[in-house]
Amino acid sequence: MTTADALRTRVRDLLAAHPPATTGRTAFLQARFDAGLAWVHYPEGLGGLGAPRSLQAAVDAELAAAGAPDNDPRRIGIGLGMAAPTILAHGTAEQKQRFLRPLWTGEEVWCQLFSEPGAGSDLAALGTRAVLDEAAGEWIVDGQKVWTSSAHTARWGILLARTDPGLPKHRGISFFVCDMHAPGVEVRPLRQITGEAEFNEVFLTGVRIPDAHRIGDAGQGWEVARTTLMNERVSIGGMRIPREGGMIGRLAEAWRERPDRRTHAHHQRLLGLWVEAEVARLAAERLRQQLAAGQPGPEGSGMKLTFARLNQEISGLEVEFLGEDGLSYGDWEMTRPDTVDFTGRDAGYRYLRAKGNSIEGGTSEILLNIVAERVLGLPAEPRDDKDVPWKDLAR
């Protein structure tokens, strides 16, 4: 069994063979992946050693102390948090070998082609169509996706498309890897209330995807997508942050710097939110410990719910506390950022950006249903479309 001491020895061997000061960033990350130190809980040959997930912290600490570069996880969060665990769980050996290494090193950015204008909260109602060209061994895809983060920088996209409209909506879907540089893929920016366009809409017109880029069996895409969605909610709601990190840290900083704005009412609300943020942080740590022992469950939906609510309440109090200064907005020029910093820029930006937290990664309303049914065991909402062929549903 791999131990923390054995991993530290392996890290020292990596640093000796590839000194960070004289090794290029990409070359170092590739060597780290090949040494099994990328994500230690992954199998050998795929960036890991089959070690307990909890030992990753020891590896990261040793490398950070040596000044080694990281893989800029915020820039490639969709690949790390959603695409990689899905490929690991459902992909073929060839797919794992092809995609995981450049995904982890950041050489290839990923996006998620799930939501559509008519299929957001009810994702299984999606209408993007994929038809198999058997002679060519390719799927021809036509449709539209929306709210696609990082589509403007992505090399690959994980794609849900309908392959059998004669089946009920959950059973006629397949899961693909789409080349974002393929003919017929068009990415258009969606400008947000913040002024930037981190989201996009993606139009797919006659896009050809090799059958070798299908993840899982044809028609089993919903089962594959559930792996993606559960990991997505954990990656959003269960991020590792230090005590008084994240949004509550910015509010606490404003409180300390502006004694002239303090009131008893603000103080009481700040204390309440600080405690809630700390409870959420510790709960997220516990969730990551559960992940180390298995796959994410519906608990991630609860964490993502809490993340959205707290961010909105904290940013709202920050704007209120700062008064007229909280209404200032530094820059509303249209930009297409490579990364998203929920706590970055000024209070006005944080307040506006937090509004999206209850939509992205699953709307809060849908997540409440998941928690009610799969965590609390409450009766499911009545559904009259589960056994109706998708082609017969009203749209």
Give the residue numbers marked as catalytic.
232
Token pair belonging to 64 = 């950070």
Nearest in space to 80 (alpha carbons), one of 189, 180, 158, 160: 158
Tell the burial category of 359 from Cβ atoms under 10 Å away from its Cβ (0-12, 13-18, 19+): middle
Token pair belonging to 138 = 């390719």
Token pair belonging to 19 = 């000194």
Please answer whether residues 112 and 78 qualify as being in contact, where contact means their C-beta atoms are separated by less than 8 angstroms: yes
Token pair belonging to 38 = 């990328």
What is the total residue count of the chain? 395
- The rounded distance, in Å, linking the Cα atoms of 333 and 313 is 26
- The rounded distance, in Å, linking the Cα atoms of 227 and 291 is 13
- The rounded distance, in Å, linking the Cα atoms of 166 and 154 is 32
Nearest in space to 213 (alpha carbons), one of 222, 221, 202, 201: 221
